[in-house]
Amino acid sequence: MWYYEKKLQYPVKVSSCNPRLAKYLIEQYGGADGELAAALRYLNQRYTIPDKVIGLLTDIGTEEFAHLEMIATMVYKLTKDATPEMMKEAGLAPHYANHDKALFYHNAAGVPWTATYIQAKGDPIADLYEDIAAEEKARATYQWIINLSDDPDLNDGLKYLREREVVHSQRFREAVEILKEERDKQIYF
Amino acid sequence: MYTQTKYYYPYHSPFDPCKPIKVKSYETPPNLYMGFQPPSLPQFQPREALYHGTLWPALFSPYPGKREVVDNE
């Protein structure tokens, strides 16, 4: 189970009214390499991974939900006071037609989130390599969004989130090293 | 020398419905440990290489199949 802390992991500040940035940020909300995919991937894979790394997947999966919340807050702040006209100018008319200002799990191109974005292979090495790849792809996505954004306060939050991808990738790589270690060399059968 | 299969002993609750598989295994093939392949490694004979799928014994990963045994006590 989880306890909820009614605050964000890192403060989210948005300085300019720029709904177009929300259109790009939604990639990290409902995209293939976004925070939702990351959280669901890790929290699902953890059941069938060796005991030594279950806790890592639980902790990182949980933190991904904290990141999801930060992205949601950014998107919400960028769109909550936008008029339909402003949404149209930002390229968000298709979103507005379907969802008004509601957030939805889709990527920057409007493609809805799908479980085919994630995998649970059951092979610990294969799953951890997927997790490392996912962190690196999320880091790259943050870079490209930062490149598209000219809002320094928003970018501050995005740079924090990018750094967390770097740390998570390192931890997953360490998990692989743990699983590579020769422990009980039991000859079975 | 490393082993290509690792074993671990997952927790089994007294309330779990099925008989336990006490030992579980996963594969750690040789490419995990090699890094950049060093030059001049020993080689199979061509015929053996074709059968094995690799020219180098150091990269060969036999997979005998996973045999998990249910504990019947």
| Buried-state track A66-88, b at ≥16 Cβ within 10 A, e below 16 | bbbebbbbbbebbbeebeeebbe
Write the CATH number for A143: 1.20.1260.10
Is position B42 within any domain? Answer: yes
The domain in which residue B41 lies consists of 5-59
Does B30 have pLDDT greater than 60?
A: yes
* pLDDT for res B57: 97
What does the pLDDT read at residue A170? 98
Nearest CB to B27: which of A52, A125, A189? A125
Is residue B35 in some structural domain?
A: yes
How much is the pLDDT for B71? Answer: 75
- Establish whether A35 is an annotated binding residue: yes
Q: Does A86 fall in a domain? A: yes
Tally of domains within chain A: 1
Query: What is the pLDDT confidence band of residue B2, given thresholds at 50, 70 and 90?
Result: confident
Give how many domains chain B has, as a whole number. 1
pLDDT at B67 over 60: yes
In a domain, B71, yes or no: no
Select the residue of A123, A124, A180 nearest B33 (Cβ to Cβ): A180
Annotated binding-site residue? A135: yes
ipTM of this predicted complex? 0.87
For residue B46, the distance in angstroms to the closest alpha carbon of chain A comes to: 30
User: Would you say residue B67 lies in a domain?
Assistant: no
Structural domain contains residue B72: no
Q: Summarize the confidence of residues B24-38 as an average pLDDT.
A: 95
Range of the domain at A61: 19-113+122-180
Does some domain include residue A151?
A: yes
A11 in a structural domain: no
Minimum CA–CA partner of A48 in chain B: B10
Residue A3 lies in a domain: no
Residue B1 pLDDT: 58
A123 is in an annotated binding site: no
Helices marked H in A80-151: 84-89, 93-99, 124-148
Give pLDDT < 70 ranges for chain A: 183-189
Q: Which of B2, B29, B67 shows the shortest C-beta gap to A189?
A: B67
Mean pLDDT score, B28-44: 96
In a domain, A189, yes or no: no
